[in-house]
Amino acid sequence: MADDKIIHVALAGNPNSGKTSIFNCLAGTNQKVGNFSGVTVEKVEGTFTHKGYTIKIVDLPGTYSLSPYSPEEKVARDYILEKKPDMIINIVDATNLERNLVLTTQLMDLEVELLVVMNMIDEVEKQKTSIDFEQFEKLFGAHVIPASAVTKQGISNLLDHIVEIKSGKIKTRKYKHTYTEKIENYIIEIGRIIKNRRIGKDLPTRWMAIKLIEKDQTVIDFLKPTHCWKDIEKILSDVRDHINKFHQQMEPDTYLAEERLSFINGAIKETVSNEEDDPETPTERIDNILLHRFFGLPIFLLIMYGIFQLTFRLGEYPMQWIDGLFQSLVSYLHGIMPASIFKSILLDGVIAGVGGVLVFLPNILILFLCISLLEATGYMARVAFVVDKLMHRIGLHGKSFIPMITGFGCTVPAIMAARTLRNRGDRITTMMVVPFFSCGAKLPLYTVIISAFFAPSMAGNILFGVYLFGIFIGLLSAKLLKSTAFKDESEPFVMELPPYRRPSGRSMLQQTWNRAWMYIKKAGTVILLASIIIWFAGSFPKNHEIHQKYETMRQKPNADIEHIDRLEKAEQLPFSIAGKIGKFLEPVSRPLGFDWRLNIALVNGLAAKEIVVSTMGTIYAIGDTESESKTLAESLRNDPEYSQAVGISFMVFVLLYIPCIASVAVFSRESNSKLWTIVFVAYTLTVAWIASFAVYQLSVLAGLS
């Protein structure tokens, strides 16, 4: 296709401006999710055609401005400056023009092709407010399209506009936002110096000049080594003097911000009519209840509890269906396929692996639907508001709360839930500590160990103790990370409490599906591979004498093949790769009280924590049905190698070490950093080893062995 038939469009706008909803209206289901290169900021792209043009649209992260403080702002700004899209569509929340137009004036400074979409125009009409779009266009020099992602009005108009601007049918005047005369002269002067010396030809000179006045570090660093810096510096000090003369102690960036705001306020006065003054909005009335001094916290906890229950209780049913489906598939194939290595790979490796991936899907879908709902309605910001005081004590943001409690269900969706955190330091810290919030898959193991080594009257306390210990380690780790590696990386809490809104179902579903699909793609391949490797390591090589012995047993009439298979597997285990690894690790695991058999269980447990119990079953040649977990507890109790001390130490290790391959895969995807993924693995292992060592040695001293 000819290049002039392709239009590159970038969507820019504030968080909560409905930018993503508009994006979904435009791009439909034809979306591609990825990351902006080198950062963890999500990038959603869509491609579609309109009137013979191919429109490629990128949803830039929601930002309040283009100052390079947060990764989102940096990404948005760099994208506009470097990729030079054909036009920027600035999505503006028409019910909150004052706030949203700040970004618009900054986009104007960039002298790009700008198209302003006034979203949520239906709500403006409901408020009996009218906006003079013609006058607005005159003031801002950009075409304005009233639209609503909810009612879909204005969408086709927007599409037409995109095409007509590109084809030249509509000529836009690239207005710049003019500052007061004196400042404007300084801007022009600096701009002239930059232009004459032909520095940074690719960057808009006017924008560079303004950024210099605002003391934007990136631009200063860019121009400082050049020969014209001396001249520029002189003008900058004149600007400072000028501002200081009229406004004592005012910094230039504050001054420009004020000028922008007064331009915006003036524009609003000229164009918006019948703005009621300050009625108490529905949002405030809802907040009077949801953020109430006494009821706010209980309501919040109730909502969190509800989400947790929905995700894991309701999610259990589809999980069982998926599990059942795969089990019947296995037993069906078991019946029709002749015994071979290929069959074993397919059934125990591949199908088990695919099942292991899909089984998390219900959790992920439900959780992300809930999170999208919280975000779309506006309650997410309130979550942060309500718990921030607690989370801030350990150096985290209020929004870290949701990933943390989700961790009690499953680490995989919990790590993905950390996406709601916009700051990288906060996000990685949260992802690092989530595994210490003991996930559901570890519970069966605790149950077996506790019933093996402890009196039933103690069971509850010990279980509670294990969970508390995990929380303690998690909080401690967060504090540690935030006071070392991410010392200076914190999201300012200065945050909008957006108006409550009715969410757009389609947009929520789309977002949820994007995330789920990303999980399937990334985690899928890794888990599949891991399952095959673990299956292989547990099955090969085989000892021939043992195999012969069991083969003759199988030949006997009335032989219980399944029972014999189990016995052989148990006896073969020490000879397999897994067995050798278990033995190899004994020097490291002895101080924790683990012999090679427990090591195998731990290594296999990397695939998924449920497998720890089933591997121990294999070791004792016990099947993994429920009634037989009692037998497993009994076998452990009667094993002279094990004791209460070993039991406690083993629980602590399982609680703290690498949660599972799936979580590592998701961590790597979400952090987009090999280094941090390695730290994640190394840190959980180290913490687990140290804690188990301490616990085991203390227990031995206390006489529990």
Partner 1 sequence: MMNENENIIPIPLSKAQIDRRYRVLAVEAKGAVRQRMLDMGLVPGINLAVVRFAPLGDPIEIRIRRFLMSLRKEEADHVMVSDIGPVPHRGRHMHLGRKMGRMRHFHGRR
Q: Please give the residue ranges that form the binding site for partner 1 (CB under 8 A).
A: 64-65, 67, 69-70, 95-96, 98-99, 102-103, 249-250, 253-254, 257-258, 261, 278-281, 283-285, 287-289, 291-294, 296-297, 381, 385-390, 392, 492-499
Rg (CA), the chain: 31
Are 112 and 87 in contact, with CB atoms under 8 Å apart?
yes
Rounded to a whole number of angstroms, the minimum distance from the CB of residue 32 to partner 1 is 30
Min. distance of Cβ 694 from partner 1 in angstroms?
Answer: 33
Residue 497 is given by DSSP the state -
Which of 367, 657, 399 lies closest to 519 in space, CA to CA?
367
DSSP 37: T
**Which residue, 122 or 216, has its beta carbon nearer to partner 1?**
216
Long-range contacts of the stretch 485-490 (C-beta < 8 A, 24+): 485/425, 486/395, 486/424, 486/425, 486/426, 486/428, 486/429, 489/423, 489/424, 489/425, 489/426, 490/395, 490/397, 490/423, 490/425, 490/426
Q: Given the complex with partner 1, which of 289 and 702 has the nearer CB atom?
A: 289
Nearer to partner 1, 498 or 579 (CB): 498
CB of 483 to partner 1, least distance (A): 16
What is the C-alpha separation between 361 and 371, in angstroms, rounded? Answer: 15
- Find the shortest distance in angstroms from Cβ 345 to partner 1: 53
Q: How far is the CB of 496 from partner 1 (least distance, A)?
A: 5
- Cβ closest to partner 1, residue 289 vs residue 682: 289
**Nearest distance from C-beta of residue 325 to partner 1, angstroms:** 45
Structure tokens at 553: 């047993």
Q: What is the DSSP letter of 281?
A: P
Cα distance between residue 465 and residue 461, in whole Å: 6
Nearer to partner 1 (CB atom), residue 259 or residue 634: 259
Q: Which is nearer to partner 1, 14 or 372 (CB)?
A: 14
Q: Measure the CA angle with vertex 660, ends 659 and 664; round to 5°.
A: 95
Nearest to 618 by CA among 574, 658, 653: 574
Of 210, 275, 199, 206, nearest in space to 236 by CA? 210
The DSSP string of 609-657 is THHHHHHHHHHTT---STHHHHHHHHHHHH-TT--HHHHHHHHHHHHHS
Complex with partner 1: residue 114 or 381, whichever CB lies closer = 381
26 neighbors 155 (Cβ within 8 angstroms): yes
Q: Closest distance between partner 1 and the C-beta of residue 10, in Å?
A: 19
User: Encoding tokens for residue 17?
Assistant: 């401006």
Q: What is the DSSP letter of 348?
A: I
DSSP 303: H
Name the minimum Å distance from CB 105 to partner 1: 11
Query: Could you give the CA distance from residue 77 to residue 67 in angstroms, rounded to a whole number?
Result: 8
- Comparing CB distances to partner 1, the nearer of 387 and 600 is 387
Beta carbon nearer to partner 1, 250 or 314: 250
Question: At closest approach, how far in Å is the CB of 261 from partner 1?
Answer: 6
Please, which residue, 72 or 348, has the CB nearer to partner 1? 72
* Residue 276 C-beta: closest distance to partner 1, Å: 8
Q: Which is nearer to partner 1, 279 or 587 (CB)?
A: 279
Q: Closest approach of Cβ 277 to partner 1, in Å?
A: 9
Instruction: Report yes or no: 204 and 111 within 8 Å, Cβ to Cβ.
Output: yes
CB 531 within 8 A of CB 607: yes
Contact 434, 408 (CB under 8 A): no
Q: Which CB sits closer to partner 1, 264 or 608?
A: 264
Nearest distance in Å: CB 301, partner 1: 11
Q: How far is CA 550 from CA 33, 556, 615, 622, in A?
A: 53, 10, 20, 17
